[in-house]
Each structure stands twice: as structure tokens, then as C-alpha cells.
Amino acid sequence: MEHGGLRYQTRQHFGGSSSKSRKRLSGQCWVSKAFETHRRRISLGGGYHHVSGGSSTDVLEQLFEIRLSAVGSNKRRAEECVVAFWRDYLADVEEQEGPFGGILAFATGANDIPPLGFFPLPSVVFLHELPLRQDRHLPTTNTCINCLQLPVLNKFEDFKETMDFALKNTQGFGQE
């Protein structure tokens, strides 16, 4: 065994085989936890969202996981209406050759879908109540967890107006 090799030095530093080292280090670092989650998702096949071709509307619809309230609730009924508005909005944007990159950047902070997909997967949730001192619903996002928060509105025209306003007034962390 070569004393200057990386494997030898690693064993000397961590004391033992790589399986012992993994056991000793497991749970001590968020990076190792993230890697373990990544490894499990790949081994389970389907952890990462593979988006198949088709129109841009189809790609974005497949990409976002829509999180609805409980079946039968009043919130669920309103959210299903907003999902229809969301899909119509995506179709309108595609017809106008609009800002799909802008929608993706607004929701995730990324202009394109990464080669390994997003982690965590992008999701859509719904804003039912207005925040304090705000007179209208606007879509918001948390790019750290890839979560797009859509306002619950009654008319498609209002939904489209708020989406357009939000996208035109945020340029993805200053990128043009």
C-alpha cells in the first residue's frame, strides 16, 4: 500500500475503512445529509422530476407540484379555480411568446431547468389571506425552497394582471 496515496491518507486521518468513516460522520454535516437524500432519490428512480418535451406550457405544468387543501374544503374549491387560471395564464404566455424564463426565474431564481432538476422540486401553494397593510394580492415566491405562492382571485383578468405585474417588476435577482 502506498503511504502517500489519497486512500491511505484518508484512512489514517479518519481511522479505518470508508464505511466506518461514513458511520462516524453521518449526521454531522448538512452536506452529507443532502448528498444522502440525493443518492436515495436517484436510487428510488423518480425522485428528480424529469420533464418530457412538448410545449413550454406542458413543461412548466409538469415541473410544478400543485399543493391543494383538503378535498371538500372551501379553500380547495377556490384553489382549483386558481389552478385553471394558472394553466390558462401559461397558455396565454406561450401564445404571445412571453416570459417563460421569467416565470421560472421568478419562482425558482433559475433561468433554465438545471440538468439534474430542482431540489427541492418547485411547488405552487395558494395565498388566501392578505398580508397586513396590503390592499391587493400579488404572487410571491420563496426561491430557497422553489415555492410559488399564487393569490386566490375570482377572475382570470385579475389573476393575469397580478401575474404580469409581478413578472414585469421583478427581474430575477437583477438579471436581465
**Is 15 found in the same domain as 66?**
no
Domain membership flag for residue 16: yes
pLDDT in tens, 19-48: 554 555 444 554 555 555 555 545 444 444
At residue 45, the pLDDT reads 45
Model confidence, pTM: 0.65
C-alpha cell at 148: 410559488
Supply the range of the domain harboring residue 40: 6-44
Catalytic residue among 29, 81, 144, 147: 144
Q: Has 147 been annotated as catalytic?
A: no
**Is 132 found in the same domain as 83?**
yes
**Is 35 found in the same domain as 95?**
no
Q: In what order do the strands lie in the sheet with 65-66?
A: 65-66, 123-127, 147-151, 140-142
pLDDT in tens, 79-134: 999 999 999 999 998 888 665 778 888 999 888 888 888 889 999 999 988 655 56
Domain membership flag for residue 174: no
**Is 150 found in the same domain as 74?**
yes
**β partners of residue 151:** 127
**Is 27 found in the same domain as 61?**
no
**Is 147 found in the same domain as 66?**
yes
Domain count across the chain:
2
Domain membership flag for residue 51: no
- Considering only residues 88 and 17, tell me which one the structure prediction assigns the higher pLDDT: 88
